[in-house]
Amino acid sequence: MRGAEKLEMETDQLSENNVYVNTCDRNVWRMKNTSAAKEIQAARSTKHRVILILGVLLILTFITVVTVMSFLFIYYSDVKHNLTERIMAYYSSDNQRIMELLGNVTEELQKIKSSSDPLCSKRWMQYGLSCYFISLSPRPWNVSKKDCEDMGAHLIVINSEGEMNFLRGIANQRFVWLGLTDLDGTWKWVDGTPYDITPKFWEKDQPDDWTGHGYGGGEDCAVLRPSSNEWNDGHCSPNFWYVCEKKIIF
Ligand SMILES: [Ca+2]
Ligand SMILES: [Ca+2]
């Protein structure tokens, strides 16, 4: 009996040991498993943070680049605009000086030639290198344009302040059409002279393409208005006086 009891006790002890060992293994496995999971979680968390930081840096870089590009674009637009204005002003004043000089030369030539042999035909007036004819009656703009063309001329094109003052003188407080229109959307002189290089004499707040006149549409034809002696864009259909211009042929 004592041997059997001893055997039973040893068996029980072994069984307890096995239970203990198994429990320890599970705990160790659990501990290891938990530790690895924490490491993975930490690694993932770090990765997410890095991605987030990189994303924020990328957005900030993009915003900075866009802002700098916008400033550069505005800066260079201003520079280009100012430069163009200065070149145009220089060219315009230079052009005006040349025209006035040529006008003086022409007048001198006229003096040298016999006064009975005028540079301009009868009823045509001379200024600078051109002859001018003021209409005998008022007409709509397109009829005025054609009348001038039928005489080998064109509606007056203002190339200088001197020529503008000459027109003011012969207009004698009447509405007078100019050879200037934006019927196709941009202002153009009828003889092809670039609009950008000529001096402008628009009234304040003109051209305004006003639509309240009752003719329909806006205003596409430039006219000298006697109230200001400056330009207004008007509807092309009213009857106004007009001045034709043609170059002197020597
Ligand atoms: Ca002219
Ligand atoms: Ca107007």
Query: For 76-132, what is each residue's pLDDT tens digit?
Result: 777 777 776 776 766 666 767 777 777 777 777 666 655 556 789 999 999 999 999
**The last residue of a domain, from among 51, 82, 117:** 117
CA 154 to centroid of ligand 1, rounded, Å: 9
Query: For 213-226, what is each residue's pLDDT tens digit?
Result: 999 999 999 999 99
Domain that holds residue 111: 1-117
3 state DSSP class of 181: strand
Are residue 147 and residue 91 in the same domain, yes or no? no
Q: Regarding predicted confidence, which is higher, 30 or 200?
A: 200
Measured CA to CA in angstroms, residue 136 lies from 19, 133, 139, 153, 240 at distances of 128, 9, 10, 16, 11
Q: Which of the ligands is closest to the CA of residue 155?
A: 1
Give the chain's mean pLDDT.
Answer: 85
Query: For 129-165, what is each residue's pLDDT tens digit?
Result: 999 999 999 999 999 999 999 999 999 999 999 999 9
pTM above 0.85, yes or no: no
Average pLDDT of 9-23? Answer: 59
CA 140 to centroid of ligand 2, rounded, Å: 16
CA gap 171, 146 in Å, rounded: 20
Measured CA to CA in angstroms, residue 152 lies from 5, 81, 97, 243, 244 at distances of 144, 38, 27, 13, 9
Q: Which of the ligands is closest to the CA of residue 127?
A: 1
Length of the chain: 250
Give the number of domains in the chain: 2
Any idea which residue has 């498993």 for tokens? 33
Q: Which residues pair with 134 in a beta bridge?
A: 243
Q: Where are the beta strands (DSSP E) in the chain?
A: 125-127, 130-134, 154-155, 176-181, 188-189, 221-225, 230-234, 241-247
pLDDT class of 4 with cuts at 50, 70, 90: low
CA 115 to centroid of ligand 1, rounded, Å: 23
Percent of the chain with pLDDT over 70: 79
CA gap 132, 155 in Å, rounded: 9
3 state DSSP class of 245: strand
CA 238 to centroid of ligand 1, rounded, Å: 23
What is the reported pLDDT for 118?
75
**The last residue of a domain, from among 87, 117, 147:** 117
CA 66 to centroid of ligand 1, rounded, Å: 48
Are residue 243 and residue 122 in the same domain, yes or no? yes
User: Has residue 178 got a pLDDT over 90?
Assistant: yes
Q: For residue 138, is the peptide bond before it cis, meaning its omega torsion is within 30 degrees of 0?
A: no
- Kindly report the backbone phi and psi dihedral angles of residue 33, in degrees, each rounded to the nearest multiple of 5, phi listed first: -60, -45
**The last residue of a domain, from among 92, 117, 142:** 117
User: Has residue 11 got a pLDDT over 90?
Assistant: no
DSSP 198: S
CA 36 to chain centre: 64
pLDDT class of 24 with cuts at 50, 70, 90: low
Query: For 35-88, what is each residue's pLDDT tens digit?
Result: 777 887 888 888 888 888 898 899 998 998 988 888 888 887 777 777 767 767
Q: Which of the ligands is closest to the CA of residue 193?
A: 1
Are residue 177 and residue 104 in the same domain, yes or no? no
Q: Regarding predicted confidence, which is higher, 195 or 34?
A: 195
Are residue 79 and residue 172 in the same domain, yes or no? no
CA gap 91, 66 in Å, rounded: 37
What is the reported pLDDT for 44?
83
Are residue 27 and residue 105 in the same domain, yes or no? yes
pLDDT class of 5 with cuts at 50, 70, 90: low
Q: Which of the ligands is closest to the CA of residue 212?
A: 2
User: Has residue 186 got a pLDDT over 90?
Assistant: yes
Q: Which of the ligands is closest to the CA of residue 218?
A: 2
Are residue 109 and residue 170 in the same domain, yes or no? no
CA 249 to centroid of ligand 1, rounded, Å: 15
CA 238 to centroid of ligand 2, rounded, Å: 13
Any idea which residue has 């002890």 for tokens? 13
Beta-carbon contacts of 199 under 8 Å, excluding residues fewer than 6 positions away, are 92, 96, 158, 160, 161, 164
What is the reported pLDDT for 83?
75
User: Has residue 1 got a pLDDT over 50?
Assistant: no
Beta-carbon contacts of 121 under 8 Å, excluding residues fewer than 6 positions away, are 131
Are residue 107 and residue 174 in the same domain, yes or no? no
CA 67 to centroid of ligand 2, rounded, Å: 40
